[in-house]
């Protein structure tokens, strides 16, 4: 499957490429090393919204084949409940990438996560490989944005018809940019903020989901919480994680709280009542309410509903 255009464009509201990011929560997306049988077993009880069975960075070269087999078996097992299952493959320019995509096509997870995506041609090649291997269209691509080239081409990458999610690879991006150690954690990511914002703009223009990068210090819970709050404020849909201990904070950060839900209900109720009475001016809690506030309120309730549904499944 090849993209129909190389230049980015803004999809219409009825364009089937647009993704509704309220339908499936991705607050916490946890990387799990696929070669580690114990980690795969433990993941069955971790309340992350999504799992990434990792065949790339977390797996040594001599364990790639074993990891692939374990990831495929886990993805096909149905043992992970409502969690969204994805597999991060090695790049097509490695000795393992092609076989990884064949395995993905056979077990049909929700998506394949592709590292260091720089060009639309890479996405086309991955999509065509999945098609040849028999993967259905429903197996989507999560494209990792990890390089300066990816930042410059983020609009085209986000607009690709098979891409469902952009995943920020902040560690590799910081390395490529020569960001000094200590400047990319604890919410202090000033050097990365322009590039995070660029990728966010591309995702929103294309109507796609975008996930914040990982936080490296698994013992620094306070710093992780600060960075989650920053990511949510910037507009990310959730965060990729490297340790189960990070899941609860991410889930809480990207879930509407009771006050937000109640306010959203008041806004929608007041607006509906005003429309029925022919009133053009609506105020809630002393603030003027417009259509955009109603849209935001509806999104808040949709997210809350999706989280509840996923949790109870």
Q: What is the pLDDT of residue 313?
A: 66
**Average pLDDT, integer, range 244-255:** 97
Q: What is the pLDDT of residue 7?
A: 41
Q: What is the pLDDT of residues 226-235, one digit of tens each?
A: 999 999 999 9
The CATH number of whichever domain residue 39 belongs to comes to 3.20.20.60
The total domain count for the chain is 2
Regarding whether 222 and 269 lie in a shared domain, the answer is no
Residue 21 has pLDDT above 70, yes or no: no
Regarding whether 275 and 172 lie in a shared domain, the answer is no
How sure is the predictor about 6, in pLDDT bands with cuts at 50, 70 and 90? very low
CA 205 to CA 150: how far, in whole Å? 16
**Among 230, 253, 276, which residue terminates a domain?**
253
Residue 2 lies in a domain: no
- Of the listed ranges 31-40, 109-118, 193-202, 254-263, the one predicted with least confidence: 254-263
Regarding whether 80 and 218 lie in a shared domain, the answer is yes
Residue 12 has pLDDT above 50, yes or no: no
Regarding whether 223 and 185 lie in a shared domain, the answer is yes
Residue 282 has pLDDT above 70, yes or no: yes
Residue 119 lies in a domain: yes
Regarding whether 270 and 242 lie in a shared domain, the answer is no
Residue 283 lies in a domain: yes
Residue 62 lies in a domain: yes
Regarding whether 151 and 47 lie in a shared domain, the answer is yes
**Average pLDDT, integer, range 231-250:** 97
Regarding whether 145 and 82 lie in a shared domain, the answer is yes
Regarding whether 114 and 47 lie in a shared domain, the answer is yes
Residue 281 lies in a domain: yes
Regarding whether 197 and 157 lie in a shared domain, the answer is yes
Question: Which is more confident, 70 or 2?
Answer: 70
Regarding whether 307 and 195 lie in a shared domain, the answer is no
Q: What is the pLDDT of residues 113-151, one digit of tens each?
A: 999 999 999 999 999 999 999 999 999 999 999 999 999
| Percent of the chain at pLDDT exceeding 70 | 90
Regarding whether 270 and 234 lie in a shared domain, the answer is no
Which residue range is the domain that position 218 belongs to?
A: 28-253
Residue 22 lies in a domain: no
Q: What is the pLDDT of residues 289-308, one digit of tens each?
A: 888 899 989 988 998 888 88
Pairing of strands 209-212, 111-114: unpaired
CA 191 to CA 181: how far, in whole Å? 11
Pairing of strands 111-114, 287-288: unpaired
Regarding whether 51 and 106 lie in a shared domain, the answer is yes
**Among 234, 253, 272, which residue terminates a domain?**
253
- 294, 271 contact by CB (below 8 A): yes
The tokens for 39 are: 């980690």
**Quick one: angle between helices 221-234 and 193-206, nearest 10?**
50
pTM beyond cutoff 0.75: yes
**Among 253, 271, 288, which residue terminates a domain?**
253
What is the average pLDDT score of the chain? 89
Residue 277 has pLDDT above 70, yes or no: yes
């Amino acid at each position: 499957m090849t993209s129909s255009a190389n230049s980015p464009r803004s999809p219409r509201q009825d364009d089937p490429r647009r993704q509704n990011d309220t339908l499936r929560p991705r607050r916490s997306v946890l990387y799990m090393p696929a070669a580690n049988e114990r980690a795969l077993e433990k993941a069955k009880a971790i309340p992350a919204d999504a799992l990434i069975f990792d065949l790339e960075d977390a797996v040594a070269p001599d364990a790639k084949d074993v990891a692939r087999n374990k990831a495929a078996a886990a993805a096909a097992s149905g043992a992970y409940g409502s969690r969204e299952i994805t597999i991060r493959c090695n790049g097509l320019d490695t000795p393992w990438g092609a076989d990884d995509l064949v395995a993905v096509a056979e077990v049909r997870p929700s998506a394949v996560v592709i590292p260091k995506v720089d060009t639309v041609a890479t996405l086309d090649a991955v999509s065509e490989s999945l098609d040849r291997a028999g993967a259905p269209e429903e197996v989507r691509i999560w494209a990792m944005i990890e390089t300066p080239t990816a930042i410059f081409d983020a609009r085209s990458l986000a607009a690709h018809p098979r891409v469902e999610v952009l995943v920020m690879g902040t560690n590799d991006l910081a390395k490529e940019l020569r960001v000094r150690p200590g400047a990319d954690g604890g919410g202090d990511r000033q050097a990365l903020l322009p590039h995070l914002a660029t990728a966010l703009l591309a995702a929103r223009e294309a109507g796609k989901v975008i996930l914040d990068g990982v936080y490296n210090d698994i013992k620094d819970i306070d710093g992780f919480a600060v960075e989650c709050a920053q990511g949510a404020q910037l507009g990310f849909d959730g965060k990729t994680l490297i340790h189960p201990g990070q899941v609860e904070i991410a889930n809480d950060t990207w879930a509407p709280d009771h006050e937000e839900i109640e306010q959203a209900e008041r806004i929608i109720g007041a607006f509906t009542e005003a429309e029925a009475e022919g009133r053009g001016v609506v105020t809630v809690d002393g603030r003027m309410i417009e259509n955009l506030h109603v849209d935001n309120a509806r999104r808040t309730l949709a997210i809350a509903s999706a989280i509840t549904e996923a949790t109870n499944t």
